[in-house]
Amino acid sequence: MTEPRTLDPSPAKNPLLLPRLDDPLVALALQGPTAELAHATRPDFMQNPRSPVEWSSRDFARMAAERLDLFDWQAVLGQFDAEAFRRDGYAVLQGIMTAAAVDAWTAALQRGQELNDRLLAADWGAVDWERLGRRPPTATVPVADISAALGSSQLVPQGGDEAGVKTLRQNSVFAEYFPAGHVPYLMNVLTHPQMLALQRLCLGCDTVYLDHIQLLTRAPGYPGGAWHSHKIGGGHDNVGPVGLDDYRRQPNINLTLCYPQGFSADDDGGLKLIRGSHLFRDPAGCRGPDDDALRQGWLSGRKHPVTGRPLEIERLDLPPGSIVCCLSHAAHAVAPKSQEGSTRWSSLFCYRKIDDVSGIAQPPSAVPAVWALKAQRGELGVDLTGLLRPSFDRALTAGRTDHADA
């Protein structure tokens, strides 16, 4: 009888928050110079020298000095309604990017996908696995799965770390995870004063922290994404409906979905949302493979807790330069992308606030260890260090090590 194969344990999401590091390889990786760890996350075959993870303070200063506006701020203020955002769980901001930002943002997403595909097609034996905190994997991702993932995001099988996928993901060797560490323009977006001002508008607070960022590339033929919502942690998930004031005080996450080229409502990989679904706080139950399944299941008979209207699916249709801000508990899904037309380009920037009652900040969903280490060691600017603080500050997170901890 053949013994079942044991998968390698998944790497810790926020190792700097652990009270101790029991894995000697991980401990060794985090004890060395950040420059060595940074280089391990950017193997030479990636051909991306001087990516932001290897920047000096001078590079960050140059980025800040050369910044242009991302948004027409008056358009943002004219379209954003704080009361409606809290009530409905999302805000649609149409065509708010400047013309220059539309072009630069699109090019940045294309560059990020190019780098991601380069890693997918490479020999992973050239990765310095031990410097990333694990032994070299003995398994590989099937060639068919690699081929299917090229040109898109989130399609590499991620059930375990046997082939090293989670290690590459959490260290942002994959450019689709923490792409701001690969592409300068996306680092500019991550830390841009206008982006941070937008987060403060949505979250209703002065201090915001980074939760995670991703590429959301949808190539022709993308089958669509199922209905779901996300946990925020702190004991506020799957605990039933809540009023607006209590909801506002939670450690909420704002999903900021950015579409420099927009999308149409008809099979274009577009976003689907449900007003008021966030107030049910039900990521465990608010799920369905498609619209019909959700209507027959979770959505059946439910009404908006504030307006009393039946909950309905809304399929968005957005012009270029648009952004959707969506609270993490809100139900959302992605429409299929037809074989016709071009790739739908998008990036996701997620920020969170503290719990107003406890004063605790939940740990981030995905900040690579090298960035947490740089922030902890004072190697980044004040603004970026502040955004990353919950990835290394044990006092701020009150001993919590995972974003979904209660």
Q: What is the 3-state secondary structure (H, E, C) of 157-181?
A: CCCCCCCCHHHHHHCCCCCCECHHH
- pLDDT tens profile 359-400: 999 999 999 999 999 999 999 999 999 999 999 999 999 999
Q: Which residues are registered as beta bridge partners of 228?
A: 332
CB 232 within 8 A of CB 253: yes
Establish if 37 belongs to a structural domain: no
Establish if 363 belongs to a structural domain: yes
Q: What percent of the chain has pLDDT over 70?
A: 98
Q: What percent of the chain has pLDDT over 90?
A: 93
Six token digits for residue 254 = 């704002």
191 contact partners, CB below 8 Å, separation of at least 6: 64, 381, 383, 384, 387
Encoded amino acid at 356, one letter: D
Whole-angstrom distance, CA of residue 170 vs CA of residue 150: 19
Average pLDDT over residues 254-262: 98
pLDDT of 50 strictly over 90:
no
Whole-angstrom distance, CA of residue 155 vs CA of residue 297: 27
What's this model's pTM, rounded to 2 decimal places?
0.95
Establish if 396 belongs to a structural domain: no
Q: Per-residue confidence at 313, pLDDT binned at 50, 70, 90?
A: very high
Exposed / middle / buried, residue 384 (Cβ in 10 Å: 0-12, 13-18, 19+): buried
The secondary element (H helix, E strand) that includes residue 313 is strand 313-315
CATH at residue 323: 2.60.120.620
Average pLDDT over residues 104-133: 97
What's residue 157's pLDDT?
86
Of 97, 272, 277, 60, the C-alpha closest to 194 is 97
Q: Per-residue confidence at 67, pLDDT binned at 50, 70, 90?
A: very high
User: At which residue do the structure tokens 């997620």 appear?
Assistant: 350
What's residue 6's pLDDT?
41
pLDDT of 4 strictly over 60:
no
List phi, psi (to 5°) of 325: -105, 125
How many independent structural domains does the chain possess? Answer: 1
- pLDDT tens profile 153-182: 999 987 789 999 999 999 999 999 999 999
pLDDT of 13 strictly over 80:
yes
User: At which residue do the structure tokens 């009393």 appear?
Assistant: 308
CB 389 within 8 A of CB 211: no
What's residue 173's pLDDT?
97
Range 99-111 burial, b when 16+ CB lie within 10 A, else e: eebbebbbebbeb
What's residue 172's pLDDT?
96
pLDDT of 8 strictly over 90:
no
Average pLDDT over residues 181-209: 98
Encoded amino acid at 127, one letter: V
pLDDT of 249 strictly over 50:
yes
Q: Per-residue confidence at 1, pLDDT binned at 50, 70, 90?
A: very low
What's residue 231's pLDDT?
97
What's residue 12's pLDDT?
86
Name the residue range of residue 237's domain: 69-123+174-391
DSSP result, 223-257: --EEEE-----TT-SSS----HHHHHHS--EEEEE
Whole-angstrom distance, CA of residue 16 vs CA of residue 11: 12
For the chain, the residue count is 406
Q: What is the mean pLDDT of the chain?
A: 94
- pLDDT tens profile 23-43: 999 999 999 999 999 999 999
283 contact partners, CB below 8 Å, separation of at least 6: 228, 229, 230, 231, 237, 238, 329
Establish if 216 belongs to a structural domain: yes
What's residue 9's pLDDT?
63
List phi, psi (to 5°) of 104: -70, -40
Exposed / middle / buried, residue 401 (Cβ in 10 Å: 0-12, 13-18, 19+): middle
